[in-house]
Structure formats: C-alpha cells, structure tokens
Amino acid sequence: MASHLTAVKPLAALREACSQCNLRELCLPVGLSADELGQIDELVKLRRRILRGQSLYRTGEPFTALYAVKTGFFKTEILLADGREQVTGFQMAGELLGLDGIGMEKHACNAIALEDSEVCVLPFADLERYFHEIAALQHHFHKVMSREIVRDQGVMMLLGVMRAEERLAAFLLNLSQRFTARGYSPHEFNLRMTRNEIGSYLGLKLETVSRVLSRFQEEGLIQVHQKHIRIIDPAGLKKVLSARQDFTERHG
Amino acid sequence: MASHLTAVKPLAALREACSQCNLRELCLPVGLSADELGQIDELVKLRRRILRGQSLYRTGEPFTALYAVKTGFFKTEILLADGREQVTGFQMAGELLGLDGIGMEKHACNAIALEDSEVCVLPFADLERYFHEIAALQHHFHKVMSREIVRDQGVMMLLGVMRAEERLAAFLLNLSQRFTARGYSPHEFNLRMTRNEIGSYLGLKLETVSRVLSRFQEEGLIQVHQKHIRIIDPAGLKKVLSARQDFTERHG
DNA sequence: CGCGCTGTTGAAACTTGTCAAAGTTTGTGG
DNA sequence: CCACAAACTTTGACAAGTTTCAACAGCGCG
C-alpha cells in the first residue's frame, strides 16, 4: 500500500552497507570487529526512502523488519480510539525503529517521517539468524532493547512527576545531547517537530509548550525563533531540571 | 549486601525448575517443546526469597541476572535526585524483572517486594548461551522484551493523555486481566500496593487515587474496602476508558 | 499573493495538587 | 492479648498549574 510513497533501493551496486557507514559507531553494529562488520553487510540488502509526512509503518501492519535511520527524522505515535494521540519518541540517524513489532508480530505504533528520510531495512528473521554466528551482535541487540526500555521509563518519570518547565528542559537537553553525539552543535539546532508534537510527547498542550519556551527565552536560557533553538545557558536549563523550589526550601 | 535479607535456595534436590513449574505457560519458556523445557531446567539453578519491603536489586548495582517472579508481587521504581519517585511497573507471578539492567550492565531501577516473594534467578550470560542452542527461546525472549516496550508505551499514553478516572479504570482493568490469566477471580482481588504507589505509577497524588476510587464506588462501578477491590460493573469501567464526554458530544 | 498551517498570547475554567484533620488498619512490645 | 505507635486512607477546603477557548501574527507553499 505504501509502495508508491516510499522508494525502495537495492544496495546491489555498492556493497557498502554497515562497514562503510559513518553511523556504525551509533547504530546497531557498535563495537563489532572489522570482520564481524563485514559479515553483517549482507544483512542490509535494502534501504527505503520515506518522504516527509509519510509513514514507515503503521499500527497493525505485519512486522517483518527493524529499521535503522540512515538520514532524516521520525516520530512514533500511538492513537486512542477517540483520536487522542501520544508521541512515544523521536528517532534520528543511527537509531532503531520497529522494536515494538516483535512481540505481537504486528507493529504497535505509527512511525512517521518528520522530514525526508532514509532507513536501512534489517529483516528480523535474518537478524536473529546472525545472532547465532555473531554473539557480540546478539548481546549488543539486547543492550539496545534494554536501553529502549530504560529510555521509556525515563519518559514515564517525565510524564509522571515533572512539571511543564522541567519536561521542556529535559527535552531540550536530550535533543542537544543527541545532536552532539552526531557531530552537530550542542547549542543550536532546528526542531523537526511541531509544538503540537512536542506537547504530545511531553503530555502537554501545544499552548503550554509555546508558553514555556517563551518563558525560557525571557529568562535568558534559550533563544527561540520558530523551529530554531539556540541554547544560551545550558547550566541554567539543567538547574530547571534539578532545582525545585519546594525541595530547596525544605532541605536548604 | 542484601545477602542477609534474602535467602538463597539451591535447587539441587528437586531438579524441577521450569519443566515442572505451573507458571511455564506464562513465563519465559512459553511455547517451548518438552525437550527444550528439559534443557533449560539447568539454567535455573537458584531461587531467591525476598521479604516484603526488601529489594531484589537496586539502581546502580551490577547486572548479572534476570529474575522470574515465582510467587509474590513486586514494584519497580526510579528516583529523582530530589526524592520524587516514579513507579514504573508492578510485577506478578510469571513476569520478568531486570531487563532494565542489560543495557548499561547496571540496574536502572529499584525492584522491591510488596509481599514476601520468591524469584527464579536466570543468569543472563547463561541465558544468552542457551539462545544459540534453542532458537525458539531466543525468539521468545525478544518477544518478551518487545512486549515490555509496548507496555511502557501504553503507560506513556496513560500518563500523557488520560485523565485521572481513565488512568484508574485502565489500571483496575489491567490488574483484573492479569489476575485472571493466573487463575484468580477477574472481579475480586486484593491490591498489594498502597494508594501512594498506585498514584506514583499513574502520575497522581494518593489523595486523587483515593477520591477517584470513592467516586467509582458511588457510581456503582466497584466496591472498595481498603486494599480489597470488587469490580461490580466491568463494562462500566471500560466505558470510563473509551467514552470521553467531550468526544461523544463533538461527534455524537 | 493569499490561504492554510503553525505559533503566540491572554483570560477564564477546570482538573489535580496541597494542606490539614480525622479515621482506620497493622505491627510491635509490654 | 491489649495498647500504642506508625503507616495508610479518607475527606474537605483551598491553591496552583495546565487546559480550553479565542484572537491574532507569521511563515511557507501553491
């Protein structure tokens, strides 16, 4: 159904897959030896291009493969019957998509490109077969899944106990850190998502997101111009996270 | 450090581990053949008893094993620097604990027994070795981890978009369903956790939990007496979940 | 060049949190 | 076995934070 929307590109010509990929230090093959890297090149036989706004997969579709983001930016979201939506994550280069689908052999969320993107297709049955040969790959995959669980639990903390300002501060610092890991500036970046999507991720309404960003700007923590963010005072942002007035009052 | 608190029991005598366990249809070995079941009996060499209030593991401790709840009831929680806590889950018989620790080789939460409990110890390095021999076990383990991710994303939805009544309704229905799967009544059960712990899980204050439960009782949906819950009107509870007034108003 | 989507800001409403007091249960030690 | 303390629960009144509703501004795409 999505075939006319997403180009599929065989990698026949350039056998470059993982061993030549500049994301190999961020992506699934982290820590593999050169030999092992060569082995898994054969795993990644195709890529898919997803245009902005199109979905890589949707809830209920049969699960067949994991996807590693090669370029671009995605969101994953789940929908309630009445239309309310929860964005469960934003994924950038080197991050895996599709782990939700393994359990039920159907995808459990929608993965939607927020800009024109490209992913490497990792057929899961093949991947599991490789695990038998490359123990390091198996182990690393388990780590990736485990870290996803820990990440999700961090989001629970965010949604469960933090106030709006703390959520936004945590969000901005997290983005900054992930951009940094990819070689971009820690202080300046463009948001790929709308205020509404940020709000949905953080359990806030878009107006609240807008207001808090404005407040951060007034306080000299950041500069906001539409989707462009400049972090002026990273330490100040971190303080928003750690310093709750009532806490310092009670214990200070 | 916790050794004087938690008895360790070798299973030397009865080599019954998984193949004789009445939880094998709920626990990790789901779907294994009799042969395969026999093989993994050797994996589970010990059990640990954890008394109520004691921890099975704590944040930062080195990760060595997963734990399958044999009897009892646990919570997992993460703590913020200022003392705020988020309960990330409640685990009952047949459910796995410790998946959070794989990624960093350190546990990322506290796992605390809410009643006297017993767990089977599954040394993770051993487990990964078994995966090479029993492909079905490997695959099933991936499913378990994936389902944990999906569960966490369901909690995000709960915390991100649902109102207090919906959260409680979802919580009660979830417990009911899990007790049912273990052969207990779907309509009647005892909560193992306090109002505070429920609140921490659902992102609410204990007073709100108490008020909503009282309201449910007034509305004839449930009967509450301290920790004892009787679900009078399961369909009514489900309606709390699906039917938001403003939605029906807008689209009705 | 204008229409639509996205973002900003204000005022009022609502849900949930905070504080406080009292009731209940559970556990412990005499 | 009772008594008391500690922990947990319930309920009320009030406060605070966030959402809702609304109006308007800005940017980008056709």
**Model pLDDT for residues B38-56, shown as the tens digit of each residue:** 888 888 889 999 999 999 9
Cβ contact A161:B202 at 8 Å: no
Cβ contact B100:B149 at 8 Å: no
Task: Give A-chain residues touching B78 at CB under 8 angstroms.
Answer: 153-154, 157
Thinking of the domain B162-251, which architecture would CATH place it in? Orthogonal Bundle (1.10)
Return the sign of the alpha-carbon dihedral for residues B146, B151, B155, B158: positive
Instruction: Quote the pLDDT of residue A16.
Output: 66
Task: Using pLDDT thresholds of 50, 70 and 90, give the confidence band for residue A244.
Answer: low
* Cβ–Cβ contact B1 with A under 8 A: no
Cβ contact A126:A64 at 8 Å: no
Pick A203's closest partner by Cβ from B143, B160, B242: B160
Question: What number does CATH give the domain A2-156?
Answer: 2.60.120.10
Task: Using pLDDT thresholds of 50, 70 and 90, give the confidence band for residue B20.
Answer: confident
Whether the CB of A207 is less than 7 Å away from nucleic strand D comes out as yes
Asked if pLDDT for residue A2 goes beyond 90, the answer is no
Tell me which H or E stretch contains A223: strand A222-225
Residues whose CB is less than 8 angstroms from the CB of residue B125 and which lie 6 or more positions away in sequence, other chains included: B64
- C-alpha angle B233/B237/B238, rounded to 5°? 115
Average pLDDT, chain B: 90
Write down the domain spans for chain A.
2-156, 162-251
Overall average pLDDT of the B163-187 stretch:
96
Task: Give A-chain residues touching B132 at CB under 8 angstroms.
Answer: 131-132, 135
* Cβ–Cβ contact A215 with B under 8 A: no
Residue A83 CA, distance from chain mean position:
23
Task: Using pLDDT thresholds of 50, 70 and 90, give the confidence band for residue B35.
Answer: confident
Asked if pLDDT for residue B245 goes beyond 80, the answer is no
Cβ within 8 Å of A, B 147-206: 147-150, 152-157, 159-161, 200-203
Separation between Cα atoms, residue A215 and residue A229, nearest integer Å: 14
Predicted TM-score (pTM) of this structure: 0.92
Overall average pLDDT of the B195-211 stretch:
98
Residues whose CB is less than 8 angstroms from the CB of residue B131 and which lie 6 or more positions away in sequence, other chains included: A131, A132, A138, B137, B138, B141
Asked if pLDDT for residue A225 goes beyond 50, the answer is yes
CB neighbours of residue B16 within 10 Å: 11
CA of B52 to C1' of D3 (A): 25
Task: Give B-chain residues touching A146 at CB under 8 angstroms.
Answer: 99-104, 145
